[in-house]
Structure 1
């Protein structure tokens, strides 16, 4: 079975089809509670340009965009 390459194709300016929407990243603020599939419950300590620093109790992790498996509570 072949996988689709649509995500890797570039949009041509002469194409009659609409440009695919840009990915939307969730925005986080300091002090918010979040959950991560691997690390569990945590609190956002610092929001950087393309990353967030989160305190998960025994460890602090820096997670970069696209914030995979990270959700607000």
Structure 2
């Protein structure tokens, strides 16, 4: 027998705030971006919610969602 999942209540004045979900990153073709490993680049293709294709000058890389190391400029 399994116990039902119980959602804990978070008080607004609690010092242990519930973590808010990070906003989804949205990229469009032509956006300038920076990557923690590859550096500066420009978005050349977008697969909604799956991946973005980025041209970093000397190479192109397909960066998969959730885009942890990729940031819009």
TM-score clears 0.5: yes
What does 1:1-73 align with in structure 2 at a 5 Å threshold? 12=5, 14-17=6-9, 22-49=21-48, 50-73=50-73
Spell out, residue by residue over 1:12-37, the C-alpha distance to the aligned partner (whole angstroms, 9 max, x if none): 2x43537x755432100000000001
Aligned length, in residue pairs: 61
Task: Give the aligned CA root-mean-square deviation in angstroms.
Answer: 1.9
TM-score, normalising length: structure 1: 0.70
Unaligned runs of 5+ in 2: 11-18
The structure with more radius of gyration: 2
Unaligned runs of 5+ in 1: 1-11
Separation in structure 2 between the aligned mates of residue 66 and residue 59 of structure 1, nearest angstrom: 21
Spell out, residue by residue over 1:1-59, the C-alpha distance to the aligned partner (whole angstroms, 9 max, x if none): xxxxxxxxxxx2x43537x7554321000000000010000000001031000000111
